């Protein structure tokens, strides 16, 4: 027998399999979708069995062993992988590997192991009864009685010497049972009864004849509650469900909400889990022990076999697009899997992405809208403060109105969230004498000062050095801190409100496992008055006592040169605002900005998504951006500046020679961040309408690039960030 094996080597060839001979004794175990270990040159490599054949023109080597007892990729996932690899012009093996949790790599799996617990049980029932009737040892009899009633019991519940004696007497025996590292079992509560708007939305989703439904509902309109009802229905019919959530909102709060109804039917995936925990969760799925999977992007690949619904919450989140290879978009994958299983795909959001809303408006997706908050809470009142005026009054960080409102809430014993999209203390150090800005030596980006550690850090490559005292350029003592970070806000707020209790949540305060949960719970329990944080606090959290949200600087996202910067600003402001007044108390939002007239800021004042959408879609049309045109971003990276630029020009002219009239090519130009980790980056942007034509060009490019070791080329179709 001969098998075609897709091996894990980093070649650009999109789908290259190698043939191997299968020794007689292994033939019976060969199945497509299993992995094998094969000799490759001097190495031993892992690979997927892709096909089985009778002959080969080459002189073949034998496989070393078969790794899996069962195919690790189902037929569905095998062909899904091929489709994705073709769509995004990426190596097939990279796609297959992205489908499996890291713990499934054979080399890692060996170390992972399963967790076991020791149990004791009776050798036989008779011998148990005999012992109970004859023995005078009270404690031993008690244990034996317990085992008689319960079957088996965790060993370490009982004193070692009693257990030991009974084992030696041959009355009981010990056995090991596999246990999962995460146990989602808990008491089950009934779902809430849907209100009439929710009920209507629920029915429309269930009865829609479209494959994809956009559930556009304001924050707090009860979308999550609808998801749970939809899932309940699917489960009732013996089917399965996937719920995708942005990594950042995969908080214990939302997981607990699902757990409290579906208990241990759920498997959960997020980056807070260890590799072995993920390994366990994945095995629960493989073994058919769970029917609901809730997780971030990569959970879209879980090997459920009978999916009835796929839900993507906060569908506008950029986290659904993977920014490294394979650069897939989990929503596109969801739509493909939905088609395969004949399952509905529900995209939920308070502020859908422009592309998604456009599809819904055109009728490609079913559009279901919820305008009211579920518990009748009003949407918060939003005030926009022009910081140019405040600066003149000497208020450089906090406007007067924000300070007054914080004071007021503290007096009323209500809670406050302050949001700033920038961690660290100050954004950068600049010399007031010569204008020198302290930058990372490896990247074209300013270093951020972190006061707690006294270090300047690069948020791109992790480079860190002790903060400068003297300007590296003019050697004077004139370095000053500019810009704000969450650390600085924390310091200033504690100066202004010395008796208030303040907690900060950003990457720097949540690096320890479980710290996320701890901060959220303690804030929920009102152990703190003010929560200061980055994006991390913008989504999904539900704190009934929060009545004031302050956005310290709404301009941080606007200033990023990306055609989506207005969209991102609108999303983020709506998300943060959505944290205010979610329960009985009404909420207020104060947005500080230097661009009060910018439409993404002004429309968010009235929660007017449609107004924003109409404005934005005009611009997209005029400038030939999505959804009117597709985009492809080609990045060319190289260690030598001149070479990289030259190669980029060659690539660009190749593309220009091959494009058709409906395509636009921009570049090459230095990337947004033109140097990262000592590699220079140039980019070419292609706007196009015909995907198939584009793919031909890109595939040829990738082939041409294979022999070019001066540069590395990356292709990103429908990029999320430019």
The residues binding ligand ADP (CB under 6 A) are 192-195, 198, 217, 219-225, 374-375, 542
Q: Which does 629 bind (CB under 5 to 8 A by kind): Zn ion, ligand ADP, none?
A: none
**Inter-residue contact 681 to 670 (CB < 8 Å):** yes
Distance (Å) of CA 629 to CA 582, 656, 685, 690, 697? 38, 17, 12, 9, 17
Please report whether residue 447 would count as binding Zn ion according to CB under 5 A: no
Exposed (0-12), middle (13-18) or buried (19+): which is 354, by Cβ within 10 Å?
buried
Q: Is 471 in the site for Zn ion (CB under 5 A)?
A: no
String of DSSP letters for 597-648: T-HHHHHHHTT-HHHHHHHHHHHHHHTT-TTTSEEEEEEEEESSHHHHHHHH
> At its nearest, how many Å lie between ligand ADP and the CB of residue 540?
8
3-class secondary structure, 39: strand
Q: Out of 141, 182, 461, 585, which residue is the one contacting Zn ion (CB under 5 A)?
A: 461
What letter does residue 475 receive in the DSSP assignment? -
Give the residues across from 253 on adjacent strands.
none
Tell me the closest approach of the beta carbon of residue 348 to ligand ADP, in angstroms.
7
Please give the backbone phi and psi of residue 30, each rounded to the nearest 5 degrees, phi first: -75, 130
Distance from C-alpha of 14 to C-alpha of 3, rounded to nearest angstrom: 19
Q: Of ligand ADP, Zn ion, none, which one sits near residue 654, judging by CB under 5 to 8 A according to partner kind?
A: none
Which span sits near Zn ion by CB under 5 A: 298-306, 363-371, 399-407, 436-444?
436-444
Residue pair 52/6 in contact by the 8 Å Cβ criterion:
no
443 binds Zn ion (CB under 5 A): yes
Distance of alpha carbon 720 from alpha carbon 313, whole angstroms: 17
- Tell me how far apart the alpha carbons of residues 374 and 221 are, in angstroms, rounded to a whole number: 5
Q: Which does 219 bind (CB under 5 to 8 A by kind): ligand ADP, Zn ion, none?
A: ligand ADP
Smallest distance from ligand ADP to CB 86, Å:
35
- What is residue 196's three-state secondary structure? helix
460 binds, among Zn ion, ligand ADP, none (CB under 5 to 8 A by kind): Zn ion
**What's the min distance (Å) between Cβ of 225 and ligand ADP?**
4
| 440 interacts with, out of ligand ADP, Zn ion, none, CB within 5 to 8 A per kind | Zn ion
Residue whose CB is less far from ligand ADP, 373 or 423: 373
Q: Residue 363 burial (CB < 10 Å; 0-12/13-18/19+)?
A: exposed
Q: Which is nearer to ligand ADP, 110 or 193 (CB)?
A: 193
Quote the least distance from Cβ 460 to Zn ion, whole Å: 5
As measured in angstroms, the least distance from the Cβ of 376 to ligand ADP is: 9
For the record, the structure tokens of 518 come out as 């701890």
Indicate the residue among 77 and 440 with the shorter CB distance to Zn ion.
440
Contacted by 458, from ligand ADP, Zn ion, none: CB < 5 to 8 Å by type = Zn ion
Report the nearest approach of Zn ion to the CB of residue 458 (Å). 3
Residue 223 or 571 having the CB closest to ligand ADP: 223
Q: Which does 341 bind (CB under 5 to 8 A by kind): Zn ion, ligand ADP, none?
A: none
State in angstroms the smallest separation of the CB of 658 from ligand ADP.
47
Beta bridge partner(s), residue 370? 217
Q: Which of 230, 233, 241 is nearest to 299 (CA)?
A: 241
Rule CB under 5 A: say whether 438 interacts with Zn ion. Answer: no
Distance of CA 511 to the CA centre of its chain: 16
Residues making up the chain, counted from first to last = 722
Choice from 458, 633, 665, 686 touching Zn ion (CB under 5 A): 458
224, interface contact from Zn ion, ligand ADP, none, CB < 5-8 Å by kind:
ligand ADP
Give residues in contact with Zn ion (CB under 5 A): 440, 442-443, 458, 460-461, 463
């Amino acid at each position: 027998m001969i098998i075609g094996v897709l091996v894990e080597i980093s070649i650009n060839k999109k789908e290259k399999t190698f043939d191997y001979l299968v020794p007689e004794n292994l033939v019976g175990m060969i199945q497509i979708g299993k992995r094998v270990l094969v000799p490759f040159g001097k190495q031993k490599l892992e690979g997927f069995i892709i096909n089985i054949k009778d002959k080969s023109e080459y002189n073949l080597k034998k496989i070393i062993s078969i790794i899996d007892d069962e195919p690790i990729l189902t037929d569905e996932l095998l062909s899904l992988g091929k489709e994705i690899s073709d769509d995004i012009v990426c190596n097939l093996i990279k796609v297959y590997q992205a489908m499996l949790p890291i713990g499934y790599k054979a080399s890692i799996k060996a170390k992972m192991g399963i967790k076991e617990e020791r149990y004791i049980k009776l050798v036989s029932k008779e011998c148990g009864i005999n012992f109970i009737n004859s023995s005078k040892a009270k404690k031993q009899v008690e244990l034996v009685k317990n085992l008689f009633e319960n079957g088996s019991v965790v060993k370490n519940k009982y004193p070692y010497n009693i257990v030991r004696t009974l084992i030696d007497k041959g009355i009981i025996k010990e056995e090991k049972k596999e246990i999962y590292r995460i146990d989602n079992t808990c008491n089950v509560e009934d779902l809430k009864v849907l209100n009439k708007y929710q009920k209507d939305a629920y029915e429309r989703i269930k009865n829609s004849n479209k494959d994809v439904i956009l559930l556009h509902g304001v924050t707090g309109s009860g979308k999550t509650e609808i998801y749970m009802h939809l899932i309940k229905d699917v489960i009732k019919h013996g089917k399965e469900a996937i719920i995708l959530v942005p990594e950042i909102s995969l908080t214990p709060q939302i997981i607990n909400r699902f757990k409290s109804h579906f208990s241990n039917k759920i498997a959960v995936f997020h980056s807070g889990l260890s590799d072995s925990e993920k390994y366990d969760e994945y095995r629960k799925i493989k073994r058919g022990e769970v029917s609901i999977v809730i997780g971030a992007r990569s959970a879209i690949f879980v090997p459920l076999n009978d999916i009835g619904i796929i839900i993507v919450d906060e569908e506008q989140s950029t986290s659904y697009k993977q920014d490294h290879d394979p650069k897939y978009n989990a929503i596109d994958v969801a739509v493909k899997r939905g088609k395969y299983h004949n399952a509905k795909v529900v995209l939920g959001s308070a502020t859908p992405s422009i592309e998604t809303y456009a599809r819904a408006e055109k009728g490609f997706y079913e559009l279901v809208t919820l305008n009211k908050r579920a518990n009748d809470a009003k949407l918060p009142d939003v005030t926009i403060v022009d910081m140019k005026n405040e600066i003149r009054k000497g208020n450089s960080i906090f406007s007067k109105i924000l300070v007054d409102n914080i004071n007021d809430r503290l007096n009323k014993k209500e809670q406050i969230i302050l949001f700033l999209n920038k961690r660290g203390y100050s954004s950068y150090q600049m010399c007031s004498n010569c204008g020198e800005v302290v930058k990372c030596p490896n990247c074209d980006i300013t270093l951020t000062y972190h006061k707690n550690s006294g270090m300047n850090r690069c948020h791109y490559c992790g480079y860190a050095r002790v903060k400068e005292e003297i300007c590296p350029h003019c050697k004077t003592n004139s370095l000053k801190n500019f810009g704000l970070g969450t650390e600085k806000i924390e310091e200033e707020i504690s100066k202004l409100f010395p008796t208030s209790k303040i907690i900060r949540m950003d990457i720097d305060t949540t690096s320890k496992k479980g710290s996320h949960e701890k901060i959220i719970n303690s804030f929920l329990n009102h152990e703190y008055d003010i929560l200061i944080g980055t994006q991390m606090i913008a989504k999904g959290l539900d704190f009934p006592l929060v009545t004031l949200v302050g956005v310290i600087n709404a301009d941080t996202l606007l200033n990023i040169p990306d055609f989506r910067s207005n969209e991102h600003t609108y999303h983020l402001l709506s998300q943060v605002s959505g944290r205010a007044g979610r329960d009985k108390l009404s909420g207020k939002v104060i947005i500080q900005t230097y661009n009060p007239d910018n439409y993404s800021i002004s429309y968010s004042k009235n929660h007017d998504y449609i107004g924003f959408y109409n404005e934005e879609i005009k611009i997209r049309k005029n400038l030939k951006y999505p959804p009117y045109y597709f985009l492809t971003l080609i990045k060319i990276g190289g260690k030598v500046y001149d070479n990289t630029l030259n190669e980029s020009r060659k690539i660009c002219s190749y593309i220009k020679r091959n494009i058709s009239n409906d395509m636009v090519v921009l570049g090459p130009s230095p990337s947004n961040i033109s140097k990262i980790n000592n590699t220079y980056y140039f980019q070419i942007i292609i706007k196009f309408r015909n995907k198939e034509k584009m793919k031909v060009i890109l595939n040829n490019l990738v082939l041409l690039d294979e022999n070019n070791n001066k540069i590395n080329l990356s292709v990103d179709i429908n990029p999320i960030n430019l």
